[in-house]
Structure 1
Amino acid sequence: MCKNENREANVVSFLESLLEQLSLEEKVSLCHAATKFGNAGVERLGIPVLEMSDGPHGVRQEISKDSWEPAGWDDDHSTYLPTGTAQAATWNREVMRDAGRVLGAEARERGKDVILGPGFNIIRTPLCGRNFEYYSEDPYLIAELAVPAVQAIQAQDTAACVKHYAANSQELNRDATDVEMDERTLREIYLPGFEATVKAGEVLTVMGAYNKFRGQWCCHNDYLVNQVLKAEWGFEGVYLSDWAGVHDTDEAVLNGMDIEMGTGKPYDEYYLAKPFLEGLRSGKYPLSVLDDKVRRILRVLYLVGAFDANRLPGERNTPAHQAIARNAAREAMVLLKNDDAVLPLQPEKIRKLAVIGQNAVTKHSNGGNSSAVKCLYEVTPLEGIRAYLGDSVEVLYAPGYSGGEEGFSAIGTEYLSTVDEGSGVKGWTLSYYANQKFAGPVVVSEYTEAPSFEHETFSAPEGIDRNLHSAVFRAELSVPESGDYVLGFVTDGDVTLTVDGVLMVNTDGLMQREKRRVSRYFTAGQTHVIELSYKCRDTMDCLHFGWVPPWANQSEQTSEKDKALSLAAEADAVIFCGGLTHREDLEGKDRQHLQLPDQQDALIEALLDVNPNTVVALTGGAPVVMPWADRAKAILWMWYAGMEGGHAAAEILFGKVAPSGRLPMTFPNSLEECPAHKIGTYGFDKSAYSEGLNVGYRYYVSESIQPLFPFGHGLSYTDFEYKDLQLSPGEGDAILSVRVDVTNTGSVPVKEVVQLYLQDVEASVYRPKMELKGFEKISLAPGETQTVCFELSLRDLSFYDDVGMDWKAESGEFIVHIGRSSQDIRLRQSYQLDL
């Protein structure tokens, strides 16, 4: 927690003195939102608002008190750090501590009490739209990285908020999907990160997830919150909802929800507002339940120094913070492949350098929805390369592809099969409801050629209030050619887009005009159902829907591709900067496939034809498939690398710094081989985690499957020798001590991530073949040898006993594996556990 001994010593007496002075109404006012990012506070007693802010890799720009519109501040910029998967790819606890210190200090300087991060839901499927915000597919790696991040945030008098509790591993129907899994899978895979941040990190707040777990909403799930989080783990902080994640007053009151945050309705109508107050007055709810919530809220405020004149002031946008952002970016980037030592490039041998690809110039800070960051600057790869090379090399640039920023056009009625029986005209059915809830009978149903209206000129049909209704546009679409189709709309209201029953976009709470787009793969000849729903209010001005079919861009793509190939042909070296953007990596929707968008695969193949040494440098927060991977000699995965990412990329590409990032998740050969899709279900209404413990690399190693790139993988600009593995009895809480010598056999200084995996050879229950149980990131000078030590506890050797409901170790043989990745094991040795 925020380690202030004086505060900790006095917190109980302080809470009780305040609690007895609060009225019933004042207590309830603390338990629900009174602004978009805060509760009410109690001015007469000097209790301030608990001020919160997104996000996990930079403090969000200031949002208006009662709407989602930016507040319009000129000075709400923040440091944009590499995003979650990039931070995890550092495999460096100290980098996480530095990043946490930046978040805590900058939130504090902005007057925030809680920063809503880190987020570290397990990366179960590579499709999840928020993977870029999260850490890893491995619970041990998550726990080891999240704890120092939380501790560092809270050392700045800012509360961390770990999220989303729990099993929130998809954006597909995230508000309602019901997750089912067995108890061992829950305890061994999905809860350890939360458990570690509660017990070791002493995190002050936890955010509930949107989804259901075993039939009950996570924001008021009795088992997850009352029984596990609060009773078993002893969590004394605040459990707050994700925005509009509460669905029932009784469950929210009795199942551990402390602060309800939300959107879309008046604050006094929140479940923990007037309905809670009325239940207390009637005696339906015991006062002790309310007092427990209020104690937790006051405790967080007290421990972050909200009542303390000597509270840390924080700092923001400092050179030190920017240096932390650059170092994190350096340590995050993963060299996936480097045949023939193509990298690092040698500037003295290059006269002309061709940089190709939209992500060479794209800035990513203001994307991804709630995690967007308003930063002072963001260095792109092209800017970083030009700054690094100066005038010594002529740097040529071509985008190579359009990047999907075209305008929308209405879907031609020739592609629609919905027909007005009266007129025979093809188009869209439009069904109106006389309320904003799509409830009751359809009052009016009519046909229209395209979903489009401006409120100023909108004439409502009879029986419909033009300022207070909801409506659904529906059409059946059949396309002439298979491919990625961009669907999009401009609106400033509450709009939901579904395709074939799958939620694609939801703008609930939107108060400003924005363009939203999503890419969907359509198969020629198949019928696809598109539904566009909106809730009209007096502040909603417009809705215009359309598409960008693949053929609309073919001539432009061809032209851009030809320009890029021409530059590549005249250059001495070529760097392709492509990958994903926040069109794909985005809160609120999942990707539909793992292919690169915008015909990038074809462009990469063509560049490799022109120059076989083309360096492929990709941006993205989650895996893609690479059908050209066998041909490409050098592949660098850059993630979303933050405001200093362009400088970091240049330093790695040209050898100033050797790459030291390691993959925190598996890169599969195809979506179909991923265990969540091959064994489990990735469902709309229900998701059965029937792959159990075999998440990510556990599945690949146990089934002897070679993925595209394995968990833990990452190359360097040198070679390493591993030798002299020694096992010995541990001391204190450690049951086993492991030592191994690692040597840098190359000629450049580097960092290496030494990984320890454990195998239980024979157990009474199923156990994956290998599980990460230790890692250390070390710096090695040329020729230097270091001895790396690991201490394993009995818990490290245990599994969760779902009968005894506790951790259990069994006597028998274990194998300690030491390596550079989950599929690059250099040394192994047997260990006999005798209990």
Structure 2
Amino acid sequence: MKKQSILHLGIIMLILIGSSCKPETPEVLKEKDNGIQTPELSLQYDEKIDSLIALMTIEEKIGMLHGNSMFANKAVERLGIPELTMADGPLGVREEISRDSWAPAGWDNDFATYYPAGGGLAATWNTELSLRFGQSVGEESRARGKDVLLSPAINIIRTPLGGRTYEYFTEDPFLNARMSVPFIVGVQQNDVAVCVKHYAVNNQETNRDSVDVLVDERTLREIYLPAFKAAAVEANAYSFMGAYNKFRGEYLCENPYMLQDILRDEWGYKGIVISDWAAVHDTKKSLEAGTDIEMGTPKPFNEFYFADPLAEAVAKGEIEEAELDKHVKRILRVMFNLKTVDGVGQKKGSINTEEHFQDAYAIAAESVVLLKNESDLLPLKLDGVKRIAVIGNNATKKNALGGYGAGVKTKREITPLEGLKGRLPEGVEVQYAEGYRERYAENEKAVFGDITLNGPVPINELEPELVEQALDAVRNSDLTIVFAGSNRDYETEASDRASLDLPYGQEELIEKVLEIDPNAIVVFIAGGPFDIQDISEKSNALVWSWFNGSEGGNALADVLLGTVNPSGKLPWTMPKKLEDSPAHATNSFPGDDSVTYEEGILVGYRWFDTKNVDPLYEFGYGLSYADFQYGNMITDKSEYNEEDTVVVNVEVSNRSEVDGKEAVQLYVSAENSQVERAQKELKAFNKVAVPAGKTVTVPLSFKVKDLAYYDTAQKTWVVEKGEYTIRVGASSRDIKGEATIVIR
């Protein structure tokens, strides 16, 4: 049975439940539990581990400390110790590759579910979906026999040009942390360790292998470390990945301040540190700083720093055997906790299942962001519509594989065109025209200014024949949808974009379409911001979607047709122009041998709000087909001490005939602070379902200690006493209510 528009469903629903547009007595909702946690690494196996280590030769110990294949260390078969197996996993479990090269292994049983990229997950603002994502991909990892999933990637989005923006979560440390913790918990419930990456301040792909990141201590603590701290302290992540770059002159994989002083001594981390592939540069420094396993690809495995050179260093007495024992014990502790050594009681997992495809659908459906909807063009009105023109290469582009980064070999990836065709009522014809073609320059050396590092250089000239085919389709149709944006061949690991311009001449094509049909729906599919200001001004309906997984096309079609009410919110700021973004306004990207984060704590919306720079679309922005109205906002007290929790309740009414979900956001401003503070900072959020015609009371809370800033002189967190303003709203700029509290 074909699914109908949201208006038809809304009418049926009103008849069934007898609701009206008049708000009723608010339903009091419960706040989502953000205190979810996995157990710490158990020490119950330590005696057995010590016994095993006592039986191991130096060669066997060293074999466990470095890659013996592309994604595993070396087993100690005579003692029953298997390999520690790993897999890339930001989009799902990567296909099996050869043991000694990146070539596919050619298996026919390594298909997996393609899940939405990190940007899409973050856009849901739904921690329950993050947990579901983790549980689902954890089951798939276990089914493939993987002990470590190299995910999540939680670095702060510092520049909108970032090649891995699609994979990272957000520009905000609080939202990063809150979305990361449940994902980690979900994965590790399946006897699979996450590998949280890339620790740390790995915020650009340009010169990532060598750039020295210089950032002041307060900015480090307040912006770039909170999500990693939450991963270690709250979620008890079993492994971290050491980043490529340097930090204050030392590579991250040989940086004792980051790996020992902060990670282990301050946060009490008990897991293992795995290097990014070929991120180790010194045997003794890296091992003694806290890197446990060296992984990589560019040379024979026995030539790794933790292989033959390590054996030589031990033989010369430069490194004690006790140092090897320390790292082997950490690895074995993780393996025993994962039940990898004996396999007794280890979960079996499942992969490529219909249930997992529906997990991917649920995330995708809540990730789509409605940017503009003049004259209520959406959801699509299909009365009298016989033909729909679908324009754009992105209507058929698949993104499970592509680019330099890890992808997924999947049996299912529904494209937007396929999704629409499968969801439209019978009798509605779809006329597809490619419009623009994804093309790249050949044999052109890529340099910054054209494209950073070795990324693809797009050809931005339209092909007249394709344009004319597209415009003919528009002229001969009752309704037009343009699918534009980017793809994973263009947004890719190992290179940042040179500009925010839409590639392949798309902007010109969209403008030509809008001249014929001003009401054409423009749908962007991309991982990071683009310059869409002119298109935004000229179009009446804009939708933003992501590299959104196996069911992305179905989810997007359901949003366009109204079966799903869009509830996504932007996890980053969409600037009007690149120069408005903080790293670019301060001319501190991409640097050269080093890069200094001149904007300090004013990252993302903090910069735009504090400096009074208007974005095109602000952090947390996203519209709905429902009409949400915010009402009373009440704090449980007016004065608090440092040990208290601030509880805020706000009424949200749905004055429409359709059910919807709203991500209610709470920001705090420190009034009269003695130090530089952002104009506002996100401190709580709660995504809630609000039925048509109903009013709900949405609870939000945060600890007073969350108001602290990092005092570099005292090397501690300080909560200033005095007044704070609490602002609750639908985005960082769309504030619906305010209250003042006092911290005594």
CA distance in 1, matches of 2:51, 2:228: 31
Aligned partner of 1:383 among 415, 418, 421: 418
CA distance in 1, matches of 2:372, 2:48: 58
1:146–1:3 CA distance, 2 compared to 1 (3 A): closer
Aligned partner of 2:429 among 394, 409, 421: 394
Counterpart contact for 2:451–2:497, Cα < 8 Å: no
Aligned partner of 1:703 among 611, 626, 648: 611
CA distance in 2, matches of 1:339, 1:721: 19
Task: Find out whether 1:658 has 2:693 as its counterpart.
Answer: no
Counterpart contact for 1:575–1:615, Cα < 8 Å: yes
Task: Find out whether 1:274 has 2:182 as its counterpart.
Answer: no
**SS of equivalent to 2:50:** helix
Q: Aligned Cα RMSD in Å?
A: 1.8
Counterpart contact for 1:2–1:303, Cα < 8 Å: no
Aligned partner of 1:618 among 499, 519, 524: 524
> What is the CA deviation profile of residues 63-114 of structure 1, one whole-angstrom value per residue up to 9, with x for unaligned ones?
1011110000011111000101011000000111111111111111001000
Q: What's the TM-score once normalised by structure 2's chain length?
A: 0.92
Aligned partner of 1:499 among 430, 434, 447: 447
Give 1:312's aligned residue: 347
Query: Of the two structures, which has the highest relative contact order with CA contacts closer than 8 Å and spacing of 6 or more?
Result: 2
Aligned partner of 2:624 among 706, 709, 716: 716
CA distance in 1, matches of 2:158, 2:354: 37
Give 2:409's aligned residue: 374
Give 2:692's aligned residue: 782
1:257–1:4 CA distance, 2 compared to 1 (3 A): closer
Q: What's the TM-score once normalised by structure 1's chain length?
A: 0.82
- Pairwise mapping of residues 302-701 of structure 1 onto structure 2 (< 5 A)? 302-306=336-340, 307-404=342-439, 486-488=441-443, 498-499=446-447, 504=452, 518-519=456-457, 554=462, 557-626=463-532, 627-682=534-589, 683-701=591-609
| Alpha-carbon offset, residue 286 of structure 1 | 2.8
Aligned partner of 2:667 among 749, 757, 762: 757
> What is the CA deviation profile of residues 430-469 of structure 1, one whole-angstrom value per residue up to 9, with x for unaligned ones?
xxxxxxxxxxxxxxxxxxxxxxxxxxxxxxxxxxxxxxxx
Equivalent residue letter for 2:332: L
**SS of equivalent to 1:14:** helix
Give 1:796's aligned residue: 706
Count of aligned positions: 704
> What is the CA deviation profile of residues 561-619 of structure 1, one whole-angstrom value per residue up to 9, with x for unaligned ones?
11111111121110000110123210111111101111111111111111111100011
Equivalent residue letter for 1:667: M
CA distance in 2, matches of 1:701, 1:759: 11
CA distance in 2, matches of 1:652, 1:243: 39
Aligned partner of 1:808 among 709, 715, 718: 718
Counterpart contact for 2:158–2:603, Cα < 8 Å: yes
| Alpha-carbon offset, residue 252 of structure 1 | 0.9
CA distance in 1, matches of 2:608, 2:318: 52
Structure 2 alignment gaps of length 5 or more: 1-35
Counterpart contact for 1:680–1:689, Cα < 8 Å: no
Task: Find out whether 1:740 has 2:678 as its counterpart.
Answer: no
1:599–1:498 CA distance, 2 compared to 1 (3 A): closer
Equivalent residue letter for 1:591: R
CA distance in 1, matches of 2:448, 2:691: 56
- Pairwise mapping of residues 147-226 of structure 1 onto structure 2 (< 5 A)? 147-226=181-260
Equivalent residue letter for 1:584: Y
CA distance in 2, matches of 1:308, 1:734: 45
1:820–1:805 CA distance, 2 compared to 1 (3 A): same
**SS of equivalent to 1:739:** strand
| Alpha-carbon offset, residue 16 of structure 1 | 2.0
**SS of equivalent to 2:474:** helix
CA distance in 1, matches of 2:443, 2:123: 33
Counterpart contact for 1:173–1:503, Cα < 8 Å: no
**SS of equivalent to 1:76:** coil
| Alpha-carbon offset, residue 194 of structure 1 | 0.4
CA distance in 1, matches of 2:350, 2:244: 33
1:269–1:503 CA distance, 2 compared to 1 (3 A): farther
| Alpha-carbon offset, residue 309 of structure 1 | 1.8
CA distance in 1, matches of 2:525, 2:221: 33
Equivalent residue letter for 1:715: L
CA distance in 1, matches of 2:453, 2:42: 45
Q: Which has the larger radius of gyration?
A: 1
> What is the CA deviation profile of residues 395-449 of structure 1, one whole-angstrom value per residue up to 9, with x for unaligned ones?
11101112216xxxxxxxxxxxxxxxxxxxxxxxxxxxxxxxxxxxxxxxxxxxx
1:796–1:45 CA distance, 2 compared to 1 (3 A): same
Aligned partner of 1:51 among 69, 85, 95: 85
Name whichever of 8-17 and 755-764 sits farther off.
Answer: 8-17
CA distance in 2, matches of 1:200, 1:736: 20
1:183–1:644 CA distance, 2 compared to 1 (3 A): same
| Alpha-carbon offset, residue 124 of structure 1 | 0.3
> What is the CA deviation profile of residues 130-152 of structure 1, one whole-angstrom value per residue up to 9, with x for unaligned ones?
11110000000000000000000
Task: Find out whether 1:831 has 2:737 as its counterpart.
Answer: no
Counterpart contact for 1:347–1:389, Cα < 8 Å: no
Counterpart contact for 1:183–1:802, Cα < 8 Å: yes
| Alpha-carbon offset, residue 807 of structure 1 | 1.1
CA distance in 2, matches of 1:51, 1:503: 35
| Alpha-carbon offset, residue 169 of structure 1 | 0.8
- Pairwise mapping of residues 250-289 of structure 1 onto structure 2 (< 5 A)? 250-289=284-323
Structure 1 alignment gaps of length 5 or more: 406-485, 490-496, 507-516, 521-548
Equivalent residue letter for 2:481: I
1:146–1:500 CA distance, 2 compared to 1 (3 A): closer
CA distance in 1, matches of 2:496, 2:409: 24
